[in-house]
């Protein structure tokens, strides 16, 4: 399973961008985007590459979903529920 992570661009130098989310900063490549981006844009990151520009609203909605998932999995009584929701991930990580 592949997951992209939304981040905000805080700096650009050539084909590299400094991105930030929740006090975490990463350097990412911009090579795979087919148009220019600017500081302040939100992008989906996977494997150190920006793959797509998204809106701030979509970025916030994605992080809310991530928070809901991790909150559910953090509850002791939710462990069996979590396995049902993420059966494919559980199988992949036990191989």
pTM score of the predicted model:
0.75
Round to whole Å and give the CA distance between 8 and 31: 17
Model pLDDT, residue 92 = 47
Model pLDDT, residue 94 = 45
pLDDT digits (tens, 9 = 90+) for 25-66: 999 999 999 989 999 999 999 999 999 999 999 999 999 998
Whether 13 has a pLDDT exceeding 80, the answer reads yes
Q: 3-class DSSP state for residue 91? A: helix
Q: Give residue 81's pLDDT band: very low, low, confident or very high (50, 70, 90).
A: low
Residues 7-21, mean pLDDT to the nearest whole number: 97
Q: What is the fold, at CATH topology level, of the domain defined by 5-93? A: SH3 type barrels. (2.30.30)
Specify the DSSP element, H or E, that contains 68: helix 56-74
On whether the CB atoms of residues 53 and 33 are closer than 8 A, the answer is: yes
Q: Which residue has the higher pLDDT, 91 or 2?
A: 2
Closest listed residue to residue 26, CA positions, set 41, 45, 51: 45
């Amino acid at each position: 399973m592949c997951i992209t992570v939304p981040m905000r661009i805080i700096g650009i130098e050539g084909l590299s961008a400094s991105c930030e989310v929740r006090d975490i900063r990463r350097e990412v490549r911009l090579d795979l985007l087919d148009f220019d981006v600017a500081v302040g844009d939100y992008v989906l990151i996977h494997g150190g590459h920006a793959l797509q520009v998204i809106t701030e609203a979509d970025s916030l909605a994605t992080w809310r979903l991530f928070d809901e998932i991790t909150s559910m999995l953090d509850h002791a009584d939710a462990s069996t529920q979590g396995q049902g929701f993420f059966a494919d991930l559980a199988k992949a990580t036990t191989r």
